[in-house]
A and B are shown apart, each in its own frame.
Chain A
Amino acid sequence: MSGVALDPKTAAAFPIAARTALGDTQMRKNVRHATEVIQAKRARVVAEMPDWQQLREAGKQIRQHTMEHLDYYLQEFEANCTRAGGVVHWARDAEEARRIVVELVKASGSDEVIKIKSMTTEEIQLNAALERAGVHAYETDLAELIIQLGEDQPSHIVVPALHKNRQQIREIFKRRMNLPELGETPQDLADAARMFLREKFLRVKTGVSGANFLIAETGGVCIVESEGNGRMCLTLPETLITIAGIDKVVPRFEDLEVLLQLLPRSATGERMNPYNSIWTGVREGDGPQTFHVVLMDNARTEILADKDGRNTLNCIRCGACLNVCPVYRQTGGQAYGSVYAGPIGAILTPQLQEMHHAESLPFASSLCGACYEVCPVKINIPEVLIHLRGKVVQQKTAGVSGLFDVEAVAMKAMGMIFKSERRFRAAQRLGRMSETPLVRKDGQGVGWISWLPGMLGGWTQVRDLQEMPKETFRDWWEKRGKHGK
């Protein structure tokens, strides 16, 4: 992959990109290794929590409640952040957000910025916009630095460079940091990054960040991280510009007691990540004395308007669904053609694009349900996928052409992907979860029949469906046929 931005408008469709990805055995090996390690760590720290399910339920309810009162909480955040000395800006879309940030950086008098890893800034391709305006952005997260110096693209929302192994990283650092003698242990590589960035932290006067949570009650912002690069960017510059999707708000400080338990255990398999920073506006003598927050919609309100897709907004970007996904584990993240990969990417990207691009992504899943089981805020991703497939079908049927192509090509890709997945967990879970979402749609959408056999074909072609605890998908399908539906 190259420095060409992952943009759903221009990226190759998933089935095509997946084919290329499947040919990259080194990348697949790296992804498999990394996701296995994170999964094991996550499983261990989740198992030690006796109240994990209660936390998930509370997390889900907090996020749902926030979306129900989103207008109120955003205004409350704005008022409290402003009172504390922050300046709040609003942006309808990526273009406006970029213009605002570029202008704020220029006003800070700096032609360089230090950046904390932020999927939101990736989403709007902020670095390229800054570069066009003559501002150089230094990524400071180790993985983002690897991506930036390697002119690569992120492949995971938490660990963006997990598709690279140490030898590959060493090559990039040797070349770009001019370190011919660089060793290849992870410690050597991290030390090189520390040296490379230290000088930037101490010098650059403007920082740009995303946000994990905006706290309406206090006007505070919370960022969780591991390396301390975040703290550097949040603390040392004179000006800090934070850009956040409007979905990032949480009602009260107290709600962090749930989210700060769910997020680190799900994301990196740690009891707590090394650093959480919470700051509120500007405080004399501590941190940046100019602080801006840009609240960006960029189609999030479109998602909110779709009551069957709306819980996509509850996502706290932990990445757990990527790590367990049999499709992601085979193809890696870049095949999704979006900075949001994996199951969450398959539902978020098409919705952020208002279904105009990335329409094959809802088919980039086996509906095995593993993503739903690990999701810390209980987003029923398979249900949303099925809903979105219905939307694609409807759009295509309305527009006559193309449906068959999207569906057929995507299913062929799925067959290809699973040919190489040793343990195909999909089959077992399918029976359990397929009934509700599919049956509910039954008889409503013209398109269902046309893609279901395709899906089944894709699966059964490559392996036998195993015995399922309840009625199997195949049984259900056959029965359904007999009843003449």
Chain B
Amino acid sequence: MGSEAITAISASARAEVLRRIRLAKGGTSDANAARTGWSNVVRQYRRETAQAASATLEMFEDRLRDYDAHVERVVPAEVAGAVAKMIAGRGKRRMVIPSGLPAEWLPPGLEFVVDDGMSAVELDAFDGVMTGSTVAIAETGTVVLQNAAGQGRRAITLVPDYHLCVVNAADVVETVPEAMERLRATSGLATTFFSGPSATADIEMTRIKGVHGPRHLDVVLMT
């Protein structure tokens, strides 16, 4: 069997599956019917925050600490200092960064190498990665990364064992729906939500940190 054969299977299967679906539900759907039906879905869950921004930031910090992340809240001029302190605290030195990360966030005296499409093996040789972020969700302690300037492609925040992430306080929302609303315009970009470091509970339901993704996570919250 070759690729023509699977193309043929797929084409006839497509016609058959769609026919079966229409037969099963008694008709063909179109864009109009779908749109109307979709807008009739009742959404009475929370879609906006009911608390002050300061409470949301505190909630975010709390949740991150729950995951054993270190969190430091600083004004923009202090970001580089906080970064230096955190990297030193973890005993790291050589960090990979995406292009477009603000230069003023990078403290002197450490090695920051801009990713230029390195192989996974090359990424594996770094002590850690430092990025910005798109949105953060306080209620779930989640940070969302997209393939954009200062955040980079997905592999760089995956292979190194330590992730230092700078989150702008203005990007922190309380709930998941608020975050999805902000992400909608760029929903086509490769997107990663992370909530704490990599973890598993597969062995006797004991949460173990750090399986394959970064095992350590720090956040600089820029206000």
Bitwise, B10-35 to A at CB < 8 A (1) or not (0) is 11011011101111110011110110
* Contact partners of B5 in chain A: CB under 8 A: 103
**In chain B, what residue has the closest Cβ to A295?**
B17
Q: Which parts of B164-223 form the interface with A (CB within 8 Å)?
A: 176-177, 179-181, 183-184, 187-206, 208, 210-214
- B109 in contact (CB, < 8 A): no
Nearest neighbor of A35 in chain B, beta-carbon distance:
B205
**A142 in contact with B17 (CB, 8 Å):** no
Bound-state Cα–Cα, A220 to B189, Å: 9
- Which A residues between 141 and 157 are near B, CB-CB below 8 angstroms? 141-143, 146
Given contacts A90-B13, A278-B190, contact A228 B204 (CB under 8 A): no
A260 CA / B193 CA spacing, docked (Å): 11
Give chain B residues whose Cβ lies under 8 Å from the Cβ of A268.
Answer: 201
Residues 250 to 309 of chain A near chain B (Cβ within 8 Å)? 251-254, 256-258, 260-261, 268, 270-280, 283, 285-287, 295, 297, 301-302, 304-305
Say yes or no for B71: interface residue by CB 8 A criterion: no
Q: Which residues of A contact B142 (CB under 8 A)?
A: 272
State whether B10 touches A34 (Cβ < 8 A): no
Partner of A190 from B141, B180, B203 at Cβ < 8 Å: B203
Interface residues on B, range: 35 or more
- Contact B6–A99 (Cβ < 8 Å): yes
In the bound complex, residues from chain A placing their C-beta under 8 Å from that of B96 are: none
Q: How far is the CA of A328 from the CA of B17 in the complex (A)?
A: 33
Residues of B within 8 A of A227 (CB): 198-200, 211-213
Q: Is the pair A272, B188 in contact by a Cβ cutoff of 8 Å?
A: no
B-contact 0/1 string along A88-129, CB 8 Å cutoff: 011110001001100110010000000000000000000000
| Chain A stretch 20-41: residues in CB contact (< 8 A) with chain B | 30, 33-34, 37-38
Binding-face segment, A158-166, A174-182, A365-373: A158-166
A74 to B194, CA, bound (A): 28
| A57-86 vs B, Cβ < 8 Å mask (1 yes, 0 no) | 110011001011111111100000000100
Are A285 and B14 closer than 8 Å at their CB atoms? no
Interfacial residues of chain A within 364-404, with CB under 8 A of chain B in the complex: none
A165 nearest CB neighbor, chain B only: B204
Which residues of the partner chain A approach B203 to less than 8 Å between Cβ atoms?
142, 166, 169, 186, 189-190
**Is A194 an interface residue when CB atoms closer than 8 A count as contact?**
yes
Comparing A230-238, A348-356, A421-429, the segment that makes contact with chain B is A230-238
Tell me whether A62 and B188 are in contact (CB under 8 A). no
Which residues on the A side are within 8 Å of B208 (C-beta)? Answer: 186-187, 190
Q: A159-B202, A246-B17, A251-B34 are in contact. Are A99 and B45 (CB under 8 A)?
A: no
A467 at the interface (CB under 8 A from B): no
A261 smallest CB distance to B (angstroms): 5
Residue of A nearest to B13 (CB): A90
Asked if B46 and A71 sit within 8 Å, CB to CB, the answer is: no
Q: Which residue of B lies closest to A278 (CB)?
A: B191
| Nearest-neighbor residue (CB-CB) of B146 within chain A | A278
CB distance from A323 to the nearest CB of B (A): 10
- Contact check: which of A33, A103, A226 meets B1 at CB < 8 Å? A103
Chain A interface: which of B74-82, B86-94, B100-108, B153-161? B153-161
Per the 8 Å Cβ criterion, residues 177-231 of A in contact with B are 186-187, 189-190, 193-194, 197-198, 201-202, 215, 217-218, 220, 226-229, 231
When the two chains form their complex, are residues A73 and B34 in contact, meaning their CB atoms are under 8 A apart? yes
Residues of A within 8 A of B18 (CB): 71, 74-75
Given contacts A33-B205, A271-B63, 4 further A-B contacts (CB under 8 A): A72-B30, A231-B212, A253-B180, A258-B45
Query: B residues within 8 Å of A by Cβ?
Result: 1-3, 5-6, 9-11, 13-14, 16-18, 20-25, 28-31, 33-34, 37-38, 40-47, 63, 117, 120-121, 124, 137, 139-142, 147, 153-155, 158-159, 176-177, 179-181, 183-184, 187-206, 208, 210-214
Could you give 27 example pairs across A and B, Cβ below 8 Å?
Answer: A70-B25, A71-B18, A71-B21, A71-B28, A72-B30, A84-B188, A100-B6, A146-B202, A159-B201, A162-B202, A215-B187, A226-B200, A228-B212, A231-B213, A235-B155, A236-B155, A246-B17, A253-B184, A272-B140, A272-B193, A274-B194, A274-B195, A277-B154, A277-B193, A279-B190, A287-B154, A301-B21
A residues neighboring B (CB under 8 Å): 30, 33-34, 37-38, 50-51, 54-55, 57-58, 61-62, 65, 67-75, 84, 89-92, 96, 99-100, 103-104, 107, 140-143, 146, 159, 161-162, 165-166, 169, 186-187, 189-190, 193-194, 197-198, 201-202, 215, 217-218, 220, 226-229, 231-232, 234-236, 246, 251-254, 256-258, 260-261, 268, 270-280, 283, 285-287, 295, 297, 301-302, 304-305
* 5 nearest A-B residue pairs (beta carbon): A228-B213, A305-B24, A272-B140, A228-B212, A301-B20
